[in-house]
Amino acid sequence: MEIDASLLMQVGLILLSTKLLGEIVLRKRFPPVVGEVAAGVMLGPFLLGWVQPSEAITMLANFGIICLLFLIGLNSEYRKLFRIGPVALAVALGGIVLPLGLSILILPGTTGLIVGAALTATSIGVVISMLKNAGKLSSPEGQIITAASVIDDIVGVIVLAVITGAAGASLMAIGGLTLKTIGFLAITLLAAISFTIFWQKKALQIKRSVSERTLLPLFLGVAFVLAWMAVQFELAAVIGAFIAGVIFSEIHDKKVVVTELRPFFDVFVPIFFFAVGMEVNLFVIPQAGWLAGVILLIAIASKVIGCGIPALLKLPPNKSLVVGLAMVPRMEVALIVMGSALAAGLIADDVYSAFVFSALALLVLVPPMIRLVYSYHPHKHL
């Protein structure tokens, strides 16, 4: 079997550039994803042109998306959602309704709908990272933020499923697709509950008959099968990967899987974010600068107000502001939503580029803003 030498070089460039720029921005106390997307922008077809889009790179990026959504599902822990308090639920709903409503009111037509849908999803990966680094993951505000961001991501996944089938569809067809998506999620959630009960009853027997090295291939195998099932339902494959993560989210052995999944995550997920950056055309930013600015303002104001005000029901003003700010970053699910909309022809290149630019700006702006809020309280430094 002959191997394409140019593809080997391009994959090498992707891995080296994403890790190098990721480490640089991490040392500046920003999420590595900023460097990974920036690497795609710089080396992609619109700037240096060293890496060109291809089916092989798309396949690797899709594998990265599946790993990413599977891991997000693993961290969802659906039982916690059943025990979610009214404040966290209000925070989640505020973070869904306000971004969607403001975008539809301010931005024209389909652009407002798609951008608003993408802005509903908070970056749970960035949120958990910030909370862990701050030592606030188990704090009252940390618990509210984590629970609300999981709900926002689930809504984002539903939106993603609708968008993938919405191109050229009638309102009735979109409504039917939404019901189909919710039905698929409900069925698989029942399967998750049944699986958890079975695993708990048979845990000791399973551990005796199955080695820990078998767990990751088993879990990933289920993720790919459910991804295939989602496609049969005319949904995005990543929906199935997310559901597979949810199914396994309550079992004790998931820690082993998360540990073993980390090398796959570290290799393939940066390829996905690099591919996101490759789609960004910097030359349209001057013309779409106003759009990027509007998206940025909507993204910040909608979460700070929509999530921060409900948090006042339980938290003091400073911590409520932290809740609002922590819900601002958008990345994983939001970029998948925008990428799906771009591929479906629902948005133009300038809208996509403006959104990605805004998402990167949020990752740079939010951590210092949170540190600034905590700086007024000497015992609560971030």
The full set of domains in the chain, from first to last, is 57-380 (1.20.1530.20)
162, 178 Cβ separation under 8 angstroms: yes
The pLDDT assigned to 145 comes to 83
Neighbours of 318 (CB within 10 A): 13
Please give the Cα distance from 224 to 70 (Å, whole number): 10
The pLDDT assigned to 18 comes to 92
The pLDDT assigned to 380 comes to 45
- Dihedral sign, Cα of residue 78, residue 80, residue 86, residue 90: negative
The pLDDT assigned to 206 comes to 56
DSSP string spanning 302-350?
HHHHHHHHHHTTTS-HHHHHHHHHHT----HHHHHHHHHHHHTTSS-HH
Please give the Cα distance from 358 to 355 (Å, whole number): 5
358, 296 Cβ separation under 8 angstroms: yes
Does residue 165 sit in helix, strand or coil?
Answer: coil
Please give the Cα distance from 365 to 356 (Å, whole number): 14
Give me the residue label for tokens 């067809």: 173
- Dihedral sign, Cα of residue 32, residue 34, residue 37, residue 39: negative
DSSP string spanning 70-107?
HHHHHTT-HHHHHT--HHHHHHHHHHHHHHHHHHHHHS
Report, in angstroms and rounded to the nearest whole number, the Rg of the chain calculated over CA atoms: 20
Please give the Cα distance from 73 to 247 (Å, whole number): 8
The pLDDT assigned to 308 comes to 92
pLDDT tens per residue across all 382 residues of the chain: 566 778 888 999 999 999 999 899 888 877 888 889 899 999 988 888 899 888 889 888 888 888 887 887 777 666 665 566 788 889 988 988 999 899 999 998 888 888 998 898 887 767 776 766 666 766 778 878 877 877 777 777 676 666 655 544 444 555 665 666 667 667 766 766 676 666 666 555 555 555 666 777 878 888 888 888 777 776 667 777 877 887 777 776 677 777 878 888 888 889 988 988 888 887 877 777 788 899 999 999 999 999 999 999 888 888 899 889 989 988 777 888 888 888 878 888 888 888 988 988 888 888 888 878 877 654 444 4
Q: What is the pTM of this model?
A: 0.76
The pLDDT assigned to 381 comes to 43
Please give the Cα distance from 48 to 319 (Å, whole number): 44
